[in-house]
Amino acid sequence: MVVMRDLQSIKQRFSIIGNYEGLNRALDIAVQVAGTDLSVVISGESGTGKEIFPQVIHNFSSRKHGPYIAVNCGAIPEGTIDSELFGHEKGAFTGATDSRKGYFEVADGGTIFLDEVAELPLSTQVRLLRVLETGEFIRVGSSKVQKTDVRVIAASNVDIPRAVESGKFREDLFYRLNTVPIRVPALRERGVDIILLFRKFATDFSEKYNMPAIKPDADAKSLLINYSWPGNVRQLKNITEQISIIEKEREITYEILKSYLPDDRSEKLPALLGKEDDKSFSSEREILYKILFDMKSDMTDLKKLVYDLMRENETPFNRPEPEEPHRPTPEKVTIDIPPLHARQEHIQDTEELVEESLSLTDKEVEMIRKALEKNGGKRKAAAQELGISERTLYRKIKEYDITI
């Protein structure tokens, strides 16, 4: 058992927030097992914070000066995964113009983190089992057996035993991998940790966007603790960012917070968010998205208006009336825009607003790019994760010319 004081310093070092017993236990196991070469499977719902655990294990192991490679197995196309993991020889397949080392060869002496391990095709699972059992692997297109010394840590947000039952995951591989299981608790179990996390994210975003931090009032705090958080810490973080940007008030009430949380029905059915045919907007996130989009358009208008005014001041004579500013509104928006008027009075604030507008666009593009990358370029899955319709996503990809 790692003493409490050490656990606190580990949390500090890895920016892990929370004192919930289940989280402490998971961290404790990670540190205990780090010094061994046992393989570890980290399980937990999506967004619970699984990705930090393999880093803790690697950094507390004797391999810490060796390479650490994180591979998202769900994001690599089935056709190339063997070559990515185990390398290939020149001419092994069309397009293989050179030979290439795979991650297991590169990570020799270090650690590989196989995220979303349940997504591996069965044929790759066979190769993985072999490297786990004997340290041997063969590059695609080669017949030469090579050796590597790699510690494997895997993670999954789906129930692997169930995948074993349905024949999608090899049972022998599961037992070989799962020598030490670590379970990362869901956010809804963590009680007051949720408030600590909210506070941490609110502070981070206040620094990022250069504004005072939002604070929940007493009722909002109890909502934070009692909500079911289907998207766990990731959802809490996203919502804290949205509220920080959109709300003018810094004290967050129950009502404000509630308006950012999908209701009970959608909580249980996240995949139904953003249903296209629901005219009244089926998801509040979609609404928020539109607010953000609209704020951005307003800022663009404002920028143009100020620019026109400045030009007018420079050439007071013979200037034609400024044109009606063109407003890029590619879609119908049926909600009220949060009042920006107070700020519009201060023209000196414009630059700040324009900057903010740019950073909102960046944020939007970044969110879309991340969702696409995470879902291996699959637009349907990415749209679901973002809580917007596939059509909206498609339009935004075109609008911002996003490629991954």
Ligand X SMILES: Nc1ncnc2c1ncn2[C@@H]1O[C@H](COP(=O)(O)OP(=O)(O)OP(=O)(O)O)[C@@H](O)[C@H]1O
* Residues contributing to the site for ligand X (CB under 6 A): 15-18, 44, 46-52, 157, 197, 233-234, 237
Torsion angles phi and psi, residue 377, rounded to 5? 80, 5
Provide the minimum distance between the beta carbon of 152 and Mg ion in the complex, in angstroms, as a whole number.
16
Q: Counting beta carbons within 10 angstroms of the beta carbon of residue 152, is it exposed (0 to 12), middle (13 to 18) or buried (19 or more)? A: buried
Q: x/- site string to Mg ion, residues 233 to 272, per CB under 5 A?
A: ----------------------------------------
Provide the minimum distance between the beta carbon of 234 and ligand X in the complex, in angstroms, as a whole number.
4
Helix (H) or strand (E) holding 69, with range, is: strand 68-72
Provide the minimum distance between the beta carbon of 277 and ligand X in the complex, in angstroms, as a whole number.
28
Closer to ligand X by CB, 24 or 344: give it: 24
Contact criterion met (CB below 8 Å) for 136 and 182: no
Residue closest to Mg ion (Cβ): 51
Q: Which does 219 bind (CB under 5 to 8 A by kind): Mg ion, ligand X, none?
A: none
Provide the minimum distance between the beta carbon of 23 and Mg ion in the complex, in angstroms, as a whole number.
16
Torsion angles phi and psi, residue 79, rounded to 5? -65, -25
Tell the residue number behind the tokens 């999908």, with chain if given. Answer: 262
Rounded CA-CA distance 248/338 in Å is 8
Q: Which does 74 bind (CB under 5 to 8 A by kind): ligand X, Mg ion, none?
A: none
Size of the residue set binding Mg ion (CB under 5 A): 1
- 378: region left, alpha or beta (phi > 0 left; psi from -120 to 50 alpha): beta
Closer to Mg ion by CB, 51 or 390: give it: 51
Specify the length of the chain in residues.
Answer: 404
Rounded CA-CA distance 285/7 in Å is 36
Provide the minimum distance between the beta carbon of 226 and Mg ion in the complex, in angstroms, as a whole number.
26
Closer to ligand X by CB, 87 or 262: give it: 262
Listed ranges 44-52, 247-255, 306-314, 344-352: which one lies at the site for Mg ion (CB under 5 A): 44-52
Rounded CA-CA distance 387/283 in Å is 7
Provide the minimum distance between the beta carbon of 115 and Mg ion in the complex, in angstroms, as a whole number.
5
Provide the minimum distance between the beta carbon of 200 and ligand X in the complex, in angstroms, as a whole number.
6
Q: Which does 285 bind (CB under 5 to 8 A by kind): Mg ion, ligand X, none?
A: none
Rounded CA-CA distance 228/13 in Å is 29
Closer to Mg ion by CB, 51 or 219: give it: 51
Provide the minimum distance between the beta carbon of 46 and Mg ion in the complex, in angstroms, as a whole number.
7
Q: Which of 139, 137, 146 is nearest to 93 (CA)?
A: 139
Closer to Mg ion by CB, 53 or 174: give it: 53
Q: Which does 372 bind (CB under 5 to 8 A by kind): Mg ion, ligand X, none?
A: none
Residue closest to ligand X (Cβ): 49
Closer to Mg ion by CB, 54 or 110: give it: 54
Closer to Mg ion by CB, 55 or 59: give it: 55
Sheet holding 151-156, edge to edge: 68-72, 111-115, 151-156, 40-43, 180-183
Q: Which of 286, 398, 298, 289 is nearest to 341 (CA)?
A: 298
Provide the minimum distance between the beta carbon of 377 and Mg ion in the complex, in angstroms, as a whole number.
17
Q: Where are the strands (E) in 240-340, listed by range?
A: 251-252
Closer to Mg ion by CB, 70 or 225: give it: 70
Q: How many CB atoms lie within 10 A of CB 265?
A: 9
**C-alpha Rg value of the chain to the nearest Å:** 25
Torsion angles phi and psi, residue 60, rounded to 5? -100, 10
Rounded CA-CA distance 59/34 in Å is 8
Closer to Mg ion by CB, 251 or 373: give it: 373
Q: Which does 153 bind (CB under 5 to 8 A by kind): ligand X, Mg ion, none?
A: none
Listed ranges 51-59, 63-71, 86-94, 176-184: which one lies at the site for Mg ion (CB under 5 A): 51-59
Catalog residues that contact Mg ion under the rule CB under 5 A. 51
